[in-house]
């Protein structure tokens, strides 16, 4: 049980699953039969013993304030099916997972070690770099390598324009990949990513030369901005450094609020998994983005259930129009939220995206909430239309291939709903929805 005495819903639990197979397996364990020794504390700990194929049951503990998990099973998934099953049982049956019990020694040991590790990380973060001068020299050396990479990329773009865009289709992808590897060598992963995107455009469908020219212009703009970064206003300079791929750290005063978890989804390039978690401050009205990363085969942390409200501090990253933040101290266990953030019309969403581009020209999309919109099929895909028929936004081309769009259509049933998502030049990607007929957040990822 959370400190507010509220348990999660089954949908919020299943949103934590790393894949569909885990959701299915966890659902089979969300009943009392295989469990014994279950309990939960007011501090957010849930524990239990799950009968497996062997003689010794699996010891499973979940800290819902993270959430964080441990289990004695051999699974490499986080959370494993036993953690999901335990949380589903906790969410559905208060009698099966009684509150107020004392945690067994094996659960208490893990909870104490988790707290000790968190305290050690905090002390390390507060201490700062061990040798500030050495850190400054490393940063200067990396900046010099990035500058050399940007100058080389400028030459590559000049050759592209000089030879004509039509020749890019015959040149093939190999030259682009070679250039991208050189950007990686220059420690400019942001530039490397843009080069790979450029290399994928030639021959990609009708109108590809226009898209190649547009993206080449944006890459040229980023190159020139880096080469003159010392002359830029600091907020824009911080944005340029981030877009090039230099790491940044959260700074400034912490902002405490009750943060509603709007959406969470992972993307992978085969080597690294990136997790994006969108939050909305109930009191401040701010929207924030948490970014975390995990190597292949291991999910990034934190994993926050969509639809819960977290009483916590966030520390903002620098940059013009920057929404990225780091999750700081938490003051209570998450509790379910029901009301969506304030939304606007399609016109309001486009205005917000346009204003954001003024601060960050390389922005792909901007988080917006659409109020009273209806998902409707169109000649070329789907649209989200204002209920009054005033305007509509096309849904991004990749969305129809995901189950979330059909879930959105089912939630709507032809009636207006509230939808949160990312609005950009490719259209609108729906990530969460709310219906006036049903409480709670419906994840669409």
| pLDDT given at position 127 | 57
d(CA 396, CA 22): 28
| pLDDT given at position 289 | 96
Instruction: Report whether 280 contacts 319 (CB < 8 A).
Output: no
Pairing status of strand 308-316 against strand 335-336: antiparallel
Per-residue pLDDT of the chain (445 residues; tens, 9 = 90+): 444 457 888 877 887 888 888 889 999 999 999 999 999 988 889 999 999 888 899 999 999 887 889 999 998 888 899 999 999 999 988 899 998 878 999 999 999 988 787 776 666 666 556 677 888 899 899 999 999 999 999 999 999 999 998 888 888 888 899 999 999 999 999 999 999 999 999 988 889 999 999 999 999 999 999 999 999 999 899 999 999 999 888 887 899 999 999 999 888 777 778 889 999 999 999 999 999 887 765 667 777 888 889 999 999 988 877 899 999 888 887 888 878 999 999 999 999 999 999 999 999 999 999 999 999 998 888 999 999 988 999 999 776 667 788 899 999 999 999 999 999 998 999 999 999 887 789 999 8
What are the pLDDT digits (tens) for 395-409?
997 766 677 888 999
Sign of CA dihedral 418, 421, 423, 425: negative
| pLDDT given at position 128 | 59
| pLDDT given at position 299 | 65
DSSP string over 211-250: HHHHHHHHHHHHHHHHHTGGGS-HHHHHHHHHHHT-----
pTM value surpassing 0.95: no
Sign of CA dihedral 27, 273, 334, 106: positive
- Of the candidates 22, 30, 3, the residue with the CA atom closest to the CA atom of residue 97: 30
What are the pLDDT digits (tens) for 16-54?
888 888 889 999 999 999 999 999 988 889 999 999 888
| pLDDT given at position 14 | 84
């Amino acid at each position: 049980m959370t400190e507010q005495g509220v348990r999660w819903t089954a949908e919020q639990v299943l949103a934590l699953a790393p894949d569909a197979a885990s959701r299915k397996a966890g659902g089979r364990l969300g009943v009392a039969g295989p469990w014994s020794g279950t309990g939960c504390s007011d501090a957010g700990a849930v524990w239990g013993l799950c009968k497996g194929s062997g003689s010794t049951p699996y010891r499973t503990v979940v800290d819902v304030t993270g959430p964080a998990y441990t289990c004695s099973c051999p699974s490499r998934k986080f959370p494993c099916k036993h953690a999901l099953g335990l949380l589903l049982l906790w969410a559905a049956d208060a009698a099966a997972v009684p509150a107020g019990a004392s945690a067994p020694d094996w659960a208490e040991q893990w909870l104490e070690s988790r707290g000790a590790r968190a305290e050690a990380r905090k002390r390390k973060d507060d201490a700062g770099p061990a040798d500030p001068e050495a850190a400054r020299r490393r940063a200067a050396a990396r900046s010099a390598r990035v500058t050399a990479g940007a100058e080389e990329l400028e030459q590559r773009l000049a050759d592209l324009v000089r030879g004509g865009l039509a020749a890019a289709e015959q040149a093939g992808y190999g030259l682009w990949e070679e250039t991208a590897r050189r950007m990686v060598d220059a420690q400019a992963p942001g530039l490397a990513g843009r080069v790979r995107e450029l290399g994928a455009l030639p021959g990609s469908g009708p109108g590809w030369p226009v898209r190649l020219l547009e993206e080449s212009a944006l890459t040229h703009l980023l190159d020139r901005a880096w080469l003159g970064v010392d002359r830029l206003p600091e907020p824009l300079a911080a944005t340029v450094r981030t877009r090039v791929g230099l790491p940044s750290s959260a700074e400034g005063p912490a902002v405490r609020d009750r943060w509603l978890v709007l959406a969470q989804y992972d993307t992978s390039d085969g080597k690294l998994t990136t997790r994006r978690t969108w939050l909305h401050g109930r009191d401040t009205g701010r929207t924030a983005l948490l970014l975390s990363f995990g190597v292949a085969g291991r999910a990034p942390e934190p994993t926050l259930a969509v639809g819960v409200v977290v009483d916590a501090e966030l520390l903002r990253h620098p940059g013009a129009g920057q929404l990225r933040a780091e999750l700081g101290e938490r003051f209570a266990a998450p509790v379910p939220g029901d009301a969506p953030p304030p939304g606007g019309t399609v016109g309001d969403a486009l205005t917000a995206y346009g204003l954001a581009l003024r601060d960050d020209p390389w922005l792909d999309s901007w988080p917006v909430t659409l109020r009273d919109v209806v998902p409707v099929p169109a000649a070329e895909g789907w649209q989200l239309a204002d209920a009054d028929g005033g305007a509509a936004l096309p849904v991004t081309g990749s969305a129809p291939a995901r189950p979330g769009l059909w879930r959105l259509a089912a939630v709507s049933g032809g009636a207006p709903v509230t939808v949160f998502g990312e609005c950009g030049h490719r259209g609108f990607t729906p990530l969460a929805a709310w219906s006036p007929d049903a409480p709670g957040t419906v994840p669409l990822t």
